[in-house]
Amino acid sequence: MTSEMAKALDDMRNGRIVLIFDSDNRERETDMVVASEMVTPVIIRTMRKDAGGLICVTVHDDIRERIETPYLADVFSRVAENYPVLSKLIPNDIPYDSKSAFSITINHRKTFTGITDKDRALTITEFAKLAGVSLNQDNGWAKDEFGRQFRAPGHVHLLNARKELLTSRIGHTELATAMIVMSGLTPTATICEMMGDDGNSLPKEEAREYAIRHDLCYVEGDEIVRAWRNGGWFR
């Protein structure tokens, strides 16, 4: 493991943002990433203002199996008989992926509108708490508690990570979740794409410069995959 990766994992444990670039052969995007259990309103504001993409929360498959967060594409497919327009929206032409990771959107029931920095931080940290507890509970408890604490739709987008992390899919959802797993934290990450002022994603060089200016770790997808494989997580 490189010293930069080791520092990035330490930063994760300390609630700091880490920048992750996926690949020149995929989205070619850099995401701000932080452990969901460490999210604060200040972090949400930083993601909103300095990154500018969509703030999402990843769901490790072990958590997904307990609370049963569906893939949104599967939901659309199953209700297409009643809503035929959904059958025309199948995302089968994503140029860099075989299936979208998007699941449902949620708000915690103690939020008001759900979109403020404080509301989103509350939704995310409470989801992380539930996720951590659910790993030691049966599926029935986890689903009931999920419904008791959260409502949908909401303003926090959940992303389902693939069952075998960093095997069939190496997107930001899996890369960020793998970083959290290697950090020893509850396996859910909060991520947001970094956007440029020209209407495109922030170029890699500018993302690196941002990391330097703000003393943040910047890691690439292949570095994470190597650390995952060398650490014995890759199986």
So what's the pLDDT on residue 193?
97
Tell me if the pTM is above 0.85.
yes
So what's the pLDDT on residue 1?
74
Catalytic residue among 4, 50, 145, 155: 155
Residue 158 CA to residue 100 CA, distance in Å, equals 11
Catalytic residue among 11, 56, 117, 172: 56
The yes-or-no answer on residue 193 being catalytic is yes
Residue 186 CA to residue 13 CA, distance in Å, equals 10
Catalytic residue among 96, 144, 214, 230: 96
So what's the pLDDT on residue 233?
63
Catalytic residue among 37, 193, 220, 223: 193
Residue stretches of the chain with pLDDT short of 50: 235
Residue 105 CA to residue 158 CA, distance in Å, equals 6
Catalytic residue among 11, 29, 31, 174: 31
So what's the pLDDT on residue 235?
40
The yes-or-no answer on residue 217 being catalytic is no
So what's the pLDDT on residue 98?
65
Residues in the chain: 235
So what's the pLDDT on residue 150?
98
Q: Under CATH, which number does the domain 3-230 receive? A: 3.90.870.10
Residue 122 CA to residue 112 CA, distance in Å, equals 11
The yes-or-no answer on residue 155 being catalytic is yes
Q: What's the 3-state SS for the chain? A: CCHHHHHHHHHHHCCCCEEEECCCCCCCCEEEEEEHHHCCHHHHHHHHHHHECCCEEEECHHHHHHHCCCCHHHHHHHHCCCCHHHHHHCCCCCCCCCCCCEEEEEEECCCCCCCCHHHHHHHHHHHHHHHHHHCCCCHHHHHHHHHHHEEEEEEEEEEECCCCCCCCCCCHHHHHHHHHHHHCCCCCEEEEEEECCCCCECCHHHHHHHHHHCCCEEEEHHHHHHHHHHCCCCC
Catalytic residue among 27, 107, 157, 160: 107
So what's the pLDDT on residue 67?
93
Every domain of the chain and the residues it spans: 3-230
